[in-house]
Amino acid sequence: MAGALNSETIALIAEELAVADREHAVMPRITARWPQATIDDSYAIQGVWRDRQVAAGRRLVGRKIGLTSKAMQQATGITEPDYGVMFDDTVYDSGADIPVDHFSNVRIEVELAFVLKSPLEGPGCTRDDVLAATDYVVPALEVLNSHIELEGRTIVDTISDNAAYGAMVLGEVRKRPDEIDLRWVPGLLYKNGEIEETGVAAGVLDHPATGVAWLADKFHQHGARLEAGEIILAGSFTRPMWVGRGDEVRCDYGPMGEIRCRFV
């Protein structure tokens, strides 16, 4: 699907998203104003926004994959995966206080993060390739941050908005892929002491490494690869949970420990 927007329009939208990010604001849907916009356009918009962030001094530490589970696809009405970038100033440790005002439409997802020890590239990347390239896997919560109005949003809107990525909270337990059956890692998500969502990691394309393989193949189409040291969020295996100021979040990952954070 080729792009339909010219470079000036792509740059204009990227700047609008940057302003919305700085001001923690929500903007009208891109597809409401440019209904001809394609998925190629949306990744071009994200790319311009990303490059400007890097030029301003932010450091890229990894990638997020979204919409890899049926739960997330049904929650959003979007039926194919997407991806975005993650910067160093968006990473929190378990136990952190997270300023809710830094984000818009704040929700939480339950994920696993793969930290690569060697580069990963397509085409034809397999689950076994991903596991061989992985240094360790660590539980993670993703904080969603949507700068585009949610009603009527499409995959084009979501990708343009850096796949709705806001931040991630990393757990403390690290496992090599050969130490645990990643398909059976559980997630029990609590808000203020009450359980809200449950799932197991197999909900992500039957194995969370499958999403990482998909991303490596997607990157190959653009002449790129995943690099050693990158953190790859493999996608949520629960529906997103809304949070607000004062909410305390805990997720129990069974043999992989738990993550706690509070929104302030």
The residue count for the chain: 264
Digit-by-digit pLDDT tens for the chain (264 residues) are: 578 999 999 999 999 999 999 999 999 999 999 999 998 999 999 999 999 999 999 999 999 998 766 666 666 666 667 899 999 999 999 999 999 999 999 999 999 999 999 999 999 999 999 999 999 999 999 999 999 999 998 889 999 999 999 999 999 999 999 999 999 999 999 999 999 999 999 999 999 999 999 899 988 887 889 999 999 999 999 999 999 999 999 999 999 999 999 999
Rounded CA separation 7/4 (Å): 10
Q: Classify strands 165-170 and 91-93 as parallel, antiparallel or unpaired.
A: parallel
Domains of the chain: 60-263 (3.90.850.10)
What end-to-end distance do the CA atoms of the chain give, in Å? 42
Q: How many CB atoms sit inside 10 A of residue 126's CB?
A: 14
Beta bridge partner(s), residue 195: 190
Alpha helices in the chain (DSSP H): 7-23, 30-33, 39-55, 70-76, 127-133, 155-160, 208-221
* Coil, helix or strand at residue 97: strand
Q: Judge contact between 185 and 251, C-beta under 8 A.
A: no
Residues 44/49/55/57 CA torsion (nearest 10 deg): -140
Scan for tokens 């806001």, then name that residue.
166
Rounded CA separation 185/202 (Å): 8
